Structure formats: C-alpha cells, structure tokens
C-alpha cells in the first residue's frame, strides 16, 4: 500500500488514529504496526496534525516496552521526513523521558532514536531541544555499558557539529565547558571507539570556543599534555575544571579516575589561597581516594595529598618569614 501510494492510505491512517485515541483499546500494538508502515508514505505524514501527535504521545505513558519501541520508530520516521518539526516538538519530551527507563534495551533504543533525531534536525528549528539534550546525555558518559556510553558520545559529537560560535550562549556555553574535562579524560576510555569519537568532538569544541592554539593540541597530543595546556591557557577556569575532575573520581574506569586525581592535584597547586572552599573540598575528595580499590590510584592520591600538604607548609613558612622580616625592619627604623 505504501509502495503503491494507494489513495486510501490517508483515510485508513485517520481510522487508526481514532482507534488509538481509546487508551484501553486491546489491539493497539497491531494498530501501531500498521500505522508505522503508513507513515512512511509522505502523503500520510502530511496529514499528521497536533491532535494526532498528542494521541501518539499519550501512548508513551504505557508501561509496555514493546509499545514504546514502536513509538520510537514513529519518531525516527517523522525525523526522516524532514518537514515535521512541529509534530516532533510534541513528541520530544516523551522521548527524553524514556532515557530514564529501567529497561536497558529500551534506553539503548531511545538513544538510537535520539541519534536519528539529532542527525536530521536543524539548529534553527530545534535549538531548545538540542540544548536540553546536552544535559540529558551527561549521565550516560560514565555508563558501565560500553554501547550506551559510545552512543551518548556519538550523539554529543553530532550535536556539536550543528553548533556555530555565534549561537553558543548560556546555558549551552556553560554545558559545553562543563563537558570539556569529560571529553579529555575519555581519551583514555577502555573502549577505543569512545576515545576515537572524543578526539574530533574536542577539536570542534575548541573551534566553537575560539581556542585555535588548543585545537591543535587537542588533535595531536596525549591526555596529560592536553590537561597541562588547558590549565595553562584557561587558568581562570581552574575552579571549574577542579569540580569536573572531582566528579570523575567516581568513574567506573580506573584510567579515568587516575587522570582525574592527577589533574585535580595540578589544579590545586594553581589556585589562590582565598579559594578555600574549593581547596578544602578537593582535599577531602583526595583523602577519600586513598581508599580507591585500584592500588595505583590510591598511591597517586596519597602522593598528591602529601605533596600538596608539603607545599602548603612551605607557603606558610614563607609567609611567616616575610612577616618577621617586615617586623625587624620596622624595629630597625
């Protein structure tokens, strides 16, 4: 019927929508399967109005994963038609809510549907949704599941490719900066594919932030060199980088925790003494990292903690010496 573009496709679609309007309809699964096939026809998709989109959206509330997976197919079909931004805007909140499902397979299919959305949406018509998506993706970057983690990074990379420097305003700029250390540290991700996705995403981040010197470093250097260069060029953002690093102390991957501990130690040494709250929080977190199950990380945390303590004592002694010197000079005069 779809291939032949039968004239009665649209009337049948209207009948199916009327059927699905009844939430207690027992054969809704069959109706949805039939409806999905009809929606592949552009002439049928053209008659999907707000009312029809809302009826489909209501079915996302059902607790049947199989039904929700069919609805995710509907969303992908809408995106591929390319002219259904209005209908998609009504369904997007339901799709995002599926990211929090307890069904891991449904979450994966939701991310795959989101990737399709991001590939086909334009920034002009979907900037609000795409910005919201950057916040929704954040927890998935530390997922144990490699496929979920990889898919999340792929979506973020595709999304960033749609962003130009002139649209990078709050809160999007805030979130792009907030995910910077995450991207750098996942260059040592145990999944090589994740690391390969993070590299070009980092370079594009540098482009939209106007960091031309760092872009070359992001493209060619290792994690340690990148972190040093980042801290050197963007020293004003050191407290921000510290908070991001401390969040990654809880990463399930030892290599990422190790890099996070090392970077935190480097940052603390650059912070002025008046940033007491940031420093105290970091010291407390480092103290806890001495109990990390990975011996290399616990050892690094201990070494970092003692190095920082020794530095603090040296600064205190130097400060005392200066005060004594001033006092002696005053007495002499």
Q: What pLDDT digit, counting tens, does each position of 222-278 carry?
A: 999 999 999 999 999 999 999 999 999 999 999 999 999 999 999 988 887 766 777
- Residues 167, 197: Cα–Cα separation, whole Å: 23
Tally of CB atoms within 10 A around 319: 11
pLDDT score for 323: 46
Length of the chain, in residues? 333
Measured distance CA(231)–CA(237) in Å, rounded: 8
The encoded tokens of residue 272 equal 């002025």
Please state, in angstroms and rounded to a whole number, the distance separating the CA atoms of residues 311 and 153.
38
User: Distance between CA atoms of 119 and 61, rounded to whole angstroms?
Assistant: 26
Per-residue pLDDT reduced to its tens digit, 64-96: 899 999 999 999 999 999 999 999 999 999 999
| Per-domain boundaries in the chain | 1-60, 147-159+171-183+194-233, 236-333
What pTM does this model have? 0.89
Mean pLDDT of all residues belonging to the chain: 89
- DSSP one-letter code for 271: S
């Amino acid at each position: 019927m779809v291939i032949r573009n039968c004239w009665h496709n649209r009337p049948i679609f209207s009948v199916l929508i009327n059927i699905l309007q009844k939430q207690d309809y027992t054969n809704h699964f069959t109706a949805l399967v039939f409806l999905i096939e009809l929606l592949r026809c552009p002439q049928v998709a053209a008659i999907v109005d707000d009312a029809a989109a809302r009826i489909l959206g209501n079915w996302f509330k059902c607790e049947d994963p199989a039904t929700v997976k069919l609805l995710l197919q509907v969303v992908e079909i809408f995106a591929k038609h390319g002219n259904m931004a209005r209908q998609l805007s009504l369904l997007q909140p339901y799709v995002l809510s599926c990211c929090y499902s307890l069904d891991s397979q449904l979450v994966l299919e939701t991310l795959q549907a989101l990737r399709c959305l991001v590939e086909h949406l334009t920034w002009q018509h979907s900037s609000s949704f795409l910005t919201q998506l950057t916040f929704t993706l954040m927890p998935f970057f530390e997922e144990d599941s490699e496929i979920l983690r990889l898919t999340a990074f792929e979506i973020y990379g595709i999304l960033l490719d749609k962003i130009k420097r002139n649209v990078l305003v709050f809160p999007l700029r805030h979130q792009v900066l907030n995910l910077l250390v995450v991207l750098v540290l996942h260059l040592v991700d145990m999944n090589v594919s994740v690391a390969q996705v993070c590299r070009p995403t980092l370079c594009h981040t540098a482009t939209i932030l106007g960091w031309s010197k760092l872009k070359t470093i992001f493209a060619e250097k290792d994690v340690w060199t990148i972190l040093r260069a980042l801290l050197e060029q963007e020293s004003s953002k050191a407290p921000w980088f510290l908070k991001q690093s401390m969040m990654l102390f809880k990463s399930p991957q030892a290599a990422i925790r190790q890099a996070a501990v090392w970077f935190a130690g480097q940052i603390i040494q650059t912070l002025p003494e008046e940033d007491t709250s940031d420093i105290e929080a970091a010291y407390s977190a480092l103290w806890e990292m001495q109990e990390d199950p990975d011996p290399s990380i616990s050892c690094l945390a201990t070494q970092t903690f003692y190095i920082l303590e020794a530095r603090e004592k040296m600064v205190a002694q130097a400060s005392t010496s200066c005060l004594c010197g001033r006092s002696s000079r005053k007495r002499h005069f």
